Amino acid sequence: MNYAIIAAGEGSRLKEEGFKSVKPLVRVNDEYLIERLIRIFKDNYAQNITIIINQQSQELQNLLNSKDYGVKINLIVKSTPSSLHSFYEIVSHSSFDECCLTTVDTIFNEREFSEYISYFKNHKNVDALMGTTEFVDDEKPLYIEVKEGLRITNFSDIKTPTTDRVSSGIYCFRKNSISLVEKAIQENISRMRNYQRMLVENHLNVYAYSFGKVIDIDHIDDIKKAESLIKNNNKHILAITRFAEYSPNSENKDFMIIKDVVDLLKKDGYDVRIKNEKDIDFEKGYCPYVISMARNPRVIECLEKWEKEGCIVINSTKSCRNCYREIQTKLLQKNDVKIPQSEVIIAKNEDFFDKTSTLFQDAFWLKRADFQTIEEIDVVKVNDLNKAKQVIKNYSLRGIDKAIISKNIEGDVIKFYGVRGEDFFYYYYPTEDKFHNKVNVGTNRNKLDEKRLRQQTIKAAQVLDLDIYGGDVIVDDKGDTYIIDMNDFPSFSLCRKQASMAIKQQFIKKCNL
């Protein structure tokens, strides 16, 4: 891969604030900006690196000429009126058909950069791939409009309702776009942003690539911001999405909540990878911080081994198992959390229905005891013994040995969401369940004590050791509330924006990031 660095600016704002040298010699974590880029490019298979500096940068020139960086450095010493003119000089002194170009002062996540280069290499139809970020910390940001597929349709100097990202000063170009540099200079185009507009106007395939937090060093204060960003970049986080089997009719909703949390963490500069639980190589991919929606028992076992090595997992593997219905039921009963009267039974024995119990006089609920809901029959309201036997037979055929029998309580169904340690709490009255069965049909709104509801759900979450949770309650005609289910990491679909912020905050606090 060919790389190029524009390092020809004067750094006037830094000088006004007392910095004595040229911008490329700013030190971030005891590393010059220019040498940081050379190292990163070398790590990403640089064949050669072309660098343009201005004629007043003798100290920088001496540095670059005095060292062997282990990669070919093509140094151009020429003062230019704009960044586009600097790029023109780079192109004029080179013969490459593709290259990656950056400004010298851009600070980014190194792993994201490697993935960016890999993406460019693997998408030969892309004429230009622009690094972008949703983090805006530039005095004159260049806003980017994209359509589906992240193809760029417009560059704007002002924010519009259709722009949510800005240019990050990181570019990859192929021959079709490189060939327009000379034309741009001939037409007296003098800024990189206007050249980028030209690429779109000429109908080239110009695409956006999302980075997390990216910082430009324009002021002295930016140095501390950059050092903090690099520190956060070194705190690797793995976000695990849920396998489709464990998200019945909610796969996209489940994915979107964790994606929103990941986006917020990236905006803060954390190095976050997102993977589905079925795609993780636990032998090679140890990560010290994990935010997890995983439910596969094998994945939970592997995460538990990581926890023993010091990894922090939220929700923890213990809390995930605590949501298995038999364990959940016994823990809530033991700790005086109000739930409907319930018993654990052996699913293979059909004669349990002969027991004289108030649970079985009218309608009651049967629930698989070993896990959470995967199929509609895993939680079903039963009105007669024949239907109950059919349910139990289904469980037995699927290898489910135990079931929960719960007394049916008539009343209003409420779904709730919470995050431990945060002010966030949300509840609503659903009209259907995840399998599109109607609920709350013909019910009156029974009197609800909202404060008691919240206290009750917080206590349940504490008993189950859940940081991120949701569930269902029944409010009877006396106003009594009964928790009928608790879930680890629900989709938060009606309150995703508020929930994702609360989840991010709890994750940062729990991991001490």
Q: In tens digits, what is the pLDDT along the chain, a chain of 513 residues?
A: 999 999 998 778 888 888 888 999 999 999 999 999 999 999 999 999 999 999 999 999 999 999 999 999 999 999 999 999 999 999 999 989 999 999 999 999 999 999 999 999 999 999 999 999 988 777 788 999 998 778 999 999 998 888 878 999 999 999 999 999 999 999 999 899 999 999 999 999 999 999 988 999 999 999 999 998 888 888 889 999 999 999 888 999 999 999 999 999 988 889 999 999 999 988 877 899 999 999 999 999 999 999 999 999 999 999 999 999 999 999 999 999 999 999 888 766 555 555 545 555 678 899 999 998 899 999 999 887 788 888 888 988 899 989 999 999 999 999 999 999 999 999 999 998 888 889 888 767 888 999 999 999 999 999 999 999 999 999 999 999 999 999 999 999 999 999 999 999 999 999 998
Has residue 86 been placed in a domain?
yes
Same structural domain, 223 and 244: no
Same structural domain, 225 and 300: no
Bridge partner list, 368: 403
Same structural domain, 185 and 237: no
Helix (H) or strand (E) holding 412: strand 412-419
pLDDT score recorded for residue 39: 97
Measure the CA–CA gap between 230 and 413, rounded to whole angstroms. Answer: 47
Same structural domain, 102 and 240: no
Query: Residue type at 25?
Result: L
Number of structural domains found in the chain: 2
Has residue 411 been placed in a domain?
no
**CATH value at residue 219:** 3.90.550.10
Residue 475, φ and ψ in degrees, nearest 5: -110, 115
Has residue 185 been placed in a domain?
yes
CA 218 to chain centre: 28
Contact 210, 165 (CB under 8 A): yes
Has residue 423 been placed in a domain?
no
Same structural domain, 49 and 167: yes
Measure the CA–CA gap between 396 and 345, rounded to whole angstroms. Answer: 12
> How many other β-carbons are positioned within 10 Å of the β-carbon of residue 335?
12
Q: Could you tell me which residues come within 8 angstroms of residue 198 by beta carbon, excluding any fewer than 6 positions away?
A: 180, 183, 184, 189
Final residue belonging to a domain, choices 232, 247, 281: 232
pLDDT in tens, 459-512: 999 999 999 999 999 999 999 999 999 999 999 999 999 999 999 999 999 999
Of 177, 216, 169, 225, the residue nearest 197 (C-alpha) = 177
pLDDT score recorded for residue 351: 55
Measure the CA–CA gap between 126 and 28, rounded to whole angstroms. Answer: 33
Contact 431, 385 (CB under 8 A): no
Domain residues for 13?
2-232
Same structural domain, 159 and 185: yes
Task: Please report which residue ranges of 375-421 form alpha helices under DSSP H.
Answer: 385-397
pLDDT in tens, 231-280: 888 888 999 999 999 988 899 999 999 999 999 998 888 999 999 999 99
Has residue 15 been placed in a domain?
yes
Has residue 8 been placed in a domain?
yes
Residue 338, φ and ψ in degrees, nearest 5: -70, 115
Contact 107, 9 (CB under 8 A): no
pLDDT score recorded for residue 72: 95
Residue 487, φ and ψ in degrees, nearest 5: -125, 145
Same structural domain, 135 and 165: yes
What is each CA distance from 24 to 60, 172, 221, 237, 285, in whole angstroms? 7, 21, 16, 30, 35
Q: Are strands 165-174 and 128-133 parallel, antiparallel or unpaired?
A: antiparallel
Residue 417, φ and ψ in degrees, nearest 5: -140, 145
Same structural domain, 159 and 104: yes
pLDDT score recorded for residue 350: 55
Final residue belonging to a domain, choices 209, 232, 255: 232
Q: Tokens 């090595």: give the residue.
A: 309
Measure the CA–CA gap between 297 and 302, rounded to whole angstroms. Answer: 9
Same structural domain, 199 and 152: yes
Sign of CA dihedral 376, 380, 384, 389: positive
Q: Are strands 128-133 and 379-382 parallel, antiparallel or unpaired?
A: unpaired
Same structural domain, 88 and 155: yes
Has residue 342 been placed in a domain?
no
Has residue 158 been placed in a domain?
yes
Helix (H) or strand (E) holding 459: helix 450-464
Measure the CA–CA gap between 393 and 115, rounded to whole angstroms. Answer: 50
Same structural domain, 155 and 244: no
Contact 106, 35 (CB under 8 A): no
Same structural domain, 133 and 282: no
